[in-house]
Structure 1
């Protein structure tokens, strides 16, 4: 019977990420054929993936990446089943590698793209077999803009990317600071013009019902609602929120301290549920 040498086992492990014993068994089964051993490990991954298809993958790593000229960005969530795997150094590195590969692509293009000789989709299946947990790409958000900056919160549970109106001196620091704001405060929209009408109608309905229950006269309710909505926009839209690093100014005011013409023009945020 074929007995694999340590160098071959190590090579297969480096190629696939599988455990030493799994690599040794695959090489024995393949009688030393390296490519056949890789295929054996992939089929094992497919079997594990099929068995765990109905499992919830609510843990993972959320990674944001921006391209070299700061005009395109992506956030992906590489999901797994347990926090133990999510914190694994190799898992986090894989998440970073995949996010880099996802830049400038749709999710479908990304999953079909090549990662070290196999598609990303096949790599995820392979890793399911290696790790023994369901591994999949969950959230996938892209953004383009004049100047982008990103922030990944400690622990890789939340990431955000902010788009500023221009690449000016101080834009990099400002974009990161505003991305931290997005991660921490979870605004529902950029400003009041970007809030959906459904959200506005629901908020008005809630506040109107409360005012009626409080016994407020019908003829003043509309004026009170205007004030309530202004407060709602201030608390929930990014540019009007109090800046977390200086509550005496709004986010819009903060970016103007960097450059008088600078504005926040967009953002994306992903967080693990």
Structure 2
């Protein structure tokens, strides 16, 4: 039996917002497996257990660059330690420069990007100098570059959520779609594009919930498939209700406009990053006790 520590309970509670005792029970049942414990809580508590998991914890900015032809662009995420630095002009300029470089130079990965020329040195030397000047760690986390036959549109919300869309149909509908994606956060254009891992995770949770109903196996399987189909409609862009008119789906809106989405990229600052939370009062108290 794996030892369930207070730190493990705290981590699960921060990810799920579930009561502490429920977190401990789930970890015990999962024999210390955090991912399995989170799944158990989702089965028991439903959507409550997934609310905190989507919260953004790291700081930084999303930057977007679209070239003058309107058909080549890039979206990047650059992280820092505090929101204060994310508002620093030097940091903002650095993020935009990174986006411009990705759009024009098309580096293969972050390591290759780091070696590209920037200013009097490279991206890496510029980053290092900025760390020294600002006094916080800065990291280029990820980027995507899109090349479109039709045109690119974008939307950035508060520097924290960024969307780049390859769309046929014009910039006006493109901006509407980009704003919708930022608000509704689809995982794919259509249901077929939803990653298999996401489908299987949802199927696993649905099967456990359905099994608790005590219904016959064939009914349980229908309940499971019904839950999975509902999930796919919720996370596929085309089947989502359009944010500016929820009486029609995104697919219906696009058809009405004679438009179609070819691809999109959605970045949310800090998504999936665990941020260390410092209890300064406890830290001071511990230091004082150590000096006593």
What TM-score results when the alignment is normalised by the length of structure 1? 0.71
2:260 counterpart (254, 259, 263) = 263
**2:172 aligns to what?**
173
The range that moved more, 171-180 or 211-220, is 211-220
**1:64 aligns to what?**
64
Please state if 1:161 is matched with 2:164.
yes
**2:46 aligns to what?**
none
Matches of 1:103 and 1:151 in 2, distance apart? 16
8 Å contact from structure 2 (residues 102, 145) kept in 1: no
**1:206 aligns to what?**
205
Q: Structure 2: which 5+ residue stretches go unaligned? A: 1-56, 271-292
Superposed, 1:86-105 pairs within 5 Å as 86-104=86-104, 105=106
Superposed, 1:124-143 pairs within 5 Å as 124-143=127-146
Matches of 1:78 and 1:219 in 2, distance apart? 49
Matches of 1:162 and 1:222 in 2, distance apart? 37
8 Å contact from structure 2 (residues 63, 76) kept in 1: yes
In our comparison, the structure showing a higher alpha carbon Rg is: 1
CA shift, 1:109, in A, is: 4.0
Provide, for residues 96-138 of structure 1, a one-character-per-residue CA deviation record: whole Å limited to 9, x for no partner.
2221122141234432222222111110011111111112211
1:103 match: secondary structure: helix
CA shift, 1:139, in A, is: 2.0
Runs of 4+ displaced beyond 6 Å: none
**2:191 aligns to what?**
192
Provide, for residues 242-271 of structure 1, a one-character-per-residue CA deviation record: whole Å limited to 9, x for no partner.
111111111121122221xx2212111111
Q: Structure 1: which 5+ residue stretches go unaligned? A: 1-56
What TM-score results when the alignment is normalised by the length of structure 2? 0.67
Provide, for residues 204-257 of structure 1, a one-character-per-residue CA deviation record: whole Å limited to 9, x for no partner.
222122122112322233333333222111111111111111111111211222
**2:115 aligns to what?**
112
The range that moved more, 138-147 or 188-197, is 138-147
How many residues were matched structurally?
Answer: 210
2:255 match: secondary structure: helix
Name the CA shift for 1:270/1:216 in 2 (closer, same or farther; >3 Å).
same
1:216 match: secondary structure: coil
2:205 match: secondary structure: helix
**2:153 aligns to what?**
149
